[in-house]
Structure 1
């Protein structure tokens, strides 16, 4: 198998080429940032929930219900496979709706990022 192609580092303005997303200069900083976030900022209860058996079963059920298609794209007459199950009302806002099928929708990664206002979509 051929190696991944070289691409510019993900840090804005850095022109260093890499195969791993971040160049050697920026890789350590991003790893330290992620470790800090995981240890001090990330919500532990939500993290445990997303690894639970009940979430995995509910997620499969929702994807199956939605025919494994992105429901947002489908409304725009585009057929795109879904890879994410999105909470309409976030888990942090209402813990009781975390497994409510009416609060869950299948989305593709791009639409999920748009819903959360993330770049790169």
Structure 2
């Protein structure tokens, strides 16, 4: 089944020219002003610094997984209160 799936995926592979995917990946996809503000926050120097400090403190391990006895690397730093609910 996997071979059939990969064959069907490859059917469309390369149908677009290179410039298409490069242009597609460069488009800014913010739905509204709130999402735009959130995006700016996550790319800010303050958030990137805090993120690095938290990941260093937690040894780059997922805290949710650790609470369930699993050890997995972490890439995401979560908020106590999600920014969507309280931007402050």
Length-normalised TM-score, structure 2: 0.65
2:65 maps to 1:73: yes
2:51 maps to 1:50: no
User: Which residue of 1 is the match for residue 10 of structure 2?
Assistant: 17
- Please tell me whether Structure 1 or Structure 2 has the larger radius of gyration of its CA atoms: 2
Distance, in Å, in 2 between the alignment partners of 1:57 and 1:73 is 23
Counting matched residue pairs gives 78
Distance, in Å, in 1 between the alignment partners of 2:42 and 2:15 is 33
Q: Could you list the runs of 5+ residues in structure 2 that have no partner in the other structure?
A: none
Q: Give the superposition deviation at 1:65.
A: 2.1
2:78 maps to 1:83: no
Q: CA RMSD in A?
A: 3.3
Q: Give the superposition deviation at 1:89.
A: 2.1
Distance, in Å, in 2 between the alignment partners of 1:77 and 1:64 is 20
User: Which residue of 2 is the match for residue 38 of structure 1?
Assistant: 29
> Quick check: which one's helix share is greater?
2
Q: Could you list the runs of 5+ residues in structure 1 that have no partner in the other structure?
A: 1-6, 9-13, 97-121
Distance, in Å, in 2 between the alignment partners of 1:90 and 1:71 is 16
User: Which residue of 1 is the match for residue 53 of structure 2?
Assistant: 61
Structure 1 segments of 4+ aligned residues over 6 angstroms from their partners: none
